[in-house]
Amino acid sequence: EVQLVELGGGLVQPGGSLRLSCAASGFTFDSYAMSWVRQAPGKGLEWLSTIDSSGLSTYYASFVKGRFTISRDNAKNTLYLQLDSLKTEDTAVYFCAKCTSRSGRICSPPRSLNDRVDLTDWGQGTQVTVSS
């Protein structure tokens, strides 16, 4: 059974940083691209970033490029998202998700987040609140 567990959320001031992690189990982690998605209060799901299975190629939504950094440690079966220069509008629940492909391109951006076409398995999410 695929399991994804996000950690690292919390309350941070505007301009601050957080590092989210996603511990993966139940599948061959280094065979799949992985993504981060978020959902702000009262809004829909929003794709943020994808990394391919090797960790060599990364993809970002234009609005987070330069502020967020995705990475992975295949030896530890863990995905990361470094959040820098946080803004109040970054307040959301952040999810990690498993892509259907080794390549990150198919999930950058993924089709139909609500229907989970390209991102088939999700964690439970971790809350990030940016507030002074």
Other C-beta atoms closer than 10 Å to the C-beta of 30 total: 15
- As averages over each run of 10 residues, the pLDDT of the chain (132 residues) reads 97 98 97 98 96 96 93 98 97 97 93 90 97 96
Core vs surface per residue 110-129: b (16+ CB within 10 A) or e: beebeebebbebbbebbebb
Please say whether the beta carbons of 57 and 109 come within 8 A. Answer: no
**Distance between CA 85 and CA 54 in Å, rounded?**
27
Length of the chain: 132
pLDDT given at position 80: 98
